[in-house]
Amino acid sequence: MQTLTIDDILVRGKKVLVRVDFNVPMTPDLKISDDKRMVEALPTIKKIIKDGGSVILMSHLGRPKGKPVTEFSLKPVADHLSKLLNQPVKFAADCIGKPAQEAVAGLKPGECLLLENLRFHAEEEKNDEKFARELASLGDVYVNDAFGSAHRAHASTEGVTRFLKPSVAGYLMKKEIEYLSKAVSNPQRPYVAILGGAKISGKIDVIQNLLPKIDVLVIGGGMAFTFFQAQGLEIGDSLVEQEKLGLAKQILDEVNVKHMRLILPVDCVIADRLDNEAQRKVVPSNKIPSGWRGLDIGPETVKIINMEVRRAKTIVWNGPMGVFEMPNFANGTLEVARLLAEATRNGATTIVGGGDSAAAVAQAGFEESISHVSTGGGASLEFLEGKTLPGLGALDTR
C-alpha cells in the first residue's frame, strides 16, 4: 500500500483531525442500533490516544440537507463512543466556528472530541474551499478513516487535505484498501465473483472491470433476468432492464471468448406478486410462467454456487441473490453468506462488499467468519469498478 498511514506519522502533542464514518442507524428514541462502524474506528482512535495525541473526530449522520436537524445530531454518538472507549468523549455543538475552536483549544493530549454533524453545513457536500480550510485549521495532521465516505469528494474527505499535511489513512481505511486490492490486483486462484442486486446497470462497471481477472462469475438477484431475456428465455413478469439487453448479450459473448465460467441461476423461487406472503414455488429458471416473477435463487442454484465456492481461493460478493428484505425470499442470500463463512474456514480469502450483502452476513451471524466485510457499500463498489476514490486519492503517498 503506497498511501501513508497513521503508522507513518508522530502524533504526540499534536491535534489529530480524524474523518470517521459514524453514519450509524438510530432508533426513534435516538439510541444507536448498530455500532459496527464505530467499533471499526476504535483502533485508530486508541492509537492516537495511546501515543499522546488529541483526537478531533468529524463525521456526517443522515441527510439533514445543509441545516441543523435535532434527530441527526451526533451528540448520542459521542455518548455511545464514551462507553466504547471507556473514557469521556467531549462534544462540540458545531464543526466549525467558535464552538469547535473553543472545544479544540481546551483539548489535552489523550483526550477525544467529536464535532457536530458536518452535513449541518451545505458547504460540506459542495467541497467548499473556505469550509475545508476552517476544518483544517482545527488540526495539526489529518487522518481519513472513513472508507464509507471515501468515494465522495467532500470538504472533510478531499478538500481538507489541501490545507493540512500530512494527510494519511487510518487503520480501517488501510484494512479496506488492502483487502479490496487483493480482489482487483493480485488474487489467489481460482477467483470467484458473486454479483447480485436488482439491476445490471448498478453492477456493469464492476462486471467489466472484474471480467479479465476472475475465473468464475456468478450472477444472481434481479439482474439475472436481464441475462435470461437476452438469451430469449421465458421470465414471466420478472424484473428486466429492456435498455440493457444489448449489454447483457455483449457480456455473454465476452464470457464465451474468454472461456471463463458464467453461472446463472438454474432454478428460482417465484411468486405471483411482490409480497412476502405471496404464493410461491420453485421452478427451473427457463420456465417462469406468465403472471409470476422470480424473487430468489432456488436450492439447485445454491448447490452449484457451493461447488464453485468450495474450489475457490478468492471470493468477492456484492449484492443479494433475491428480494432479501422479505424473509420468504431471503434464503438464497443467507445461504451464500453461509457458504462464504465455510470457505473462509477452509482457507479462502472472502470479501463482502458492503450494503445488503454485509447486512445478510450480519443477519446470518457470520460477520466474524468472513475475511473482510466492507464498511462502505458505495465505496467498495466503486473500488471494485477500478475507480480512484477521491478521499483515498487525496492522501499522501510514499
Task: Inform me whether the pLDDT recorded for 265 exceeds 80.
Answer: yes
Domain 6-172 identical in fold to domain 179-384: yes
pLDDT digits 0-9 by tens, 57-84: 999 999 999 999 999 999 999 999 999 9
Confidence at 260, pLDDT banded by 50, 70, 90: confident
In the set 37, 182, 203, 244, the catalytic residue is 37
Q: Where do the structural domains in the chain lie, given as residue ranges? A: 6-172, 179-384
199, 287, 311, 338: the active-site residue: 199
Q: Is 398 exposed, middle or buried (0-12, 13-18, 19+ CB in 10 A)?
A: exposed
- Residues 6 or more apart whose CB falls under 8 angstroms from that of 14 comprise 53, 54, 139, 140, 141
The rounded distance, in Å, linking the Cα atoms of 337 and 360 is: 7
pTM over 0.85: yes
pLDDT tens digits for range 80-139: 999 999 999 999 999 999 999 999 999 999 999 999 999 999 999 999 999 999 999 999
Q: 229 falls in which pLDDT band (50, 70, 90)?
A: very high
- Confidence class of residue 300 from pLDDT cuts 50, 70 and 90? very high
C-alpha cell at 264: 446463472
Q: Is 189 a catalytic residue?
A: no
Least confident among 64-78, 147-161, 178-192, 338-352: 178-192
Whether pLDDT at 377 is above 80: no
Selecting among 53, 139, 221, 355, the annotated active-site residue is: 355
Q: Worst-scoring range by mean pLDDT, 17-26, 126-135, 341-350, 351-360?
A: 351-360
Domain 6-172: CATH superfamily is: Phosphoglycerate kinase, N-terminal domain (3.40.50.1260)
Which candidate in 52, 110, 236, 378 is catalytic? Answer: 378
Residue 37 annotated to the active site: yes
What average pLDDT does the chain have?
93
Q: Hey, what CATH topology would domain 179-384 get?
A: Rossmann fold (3.40.50)
pLDDT at 1: 61
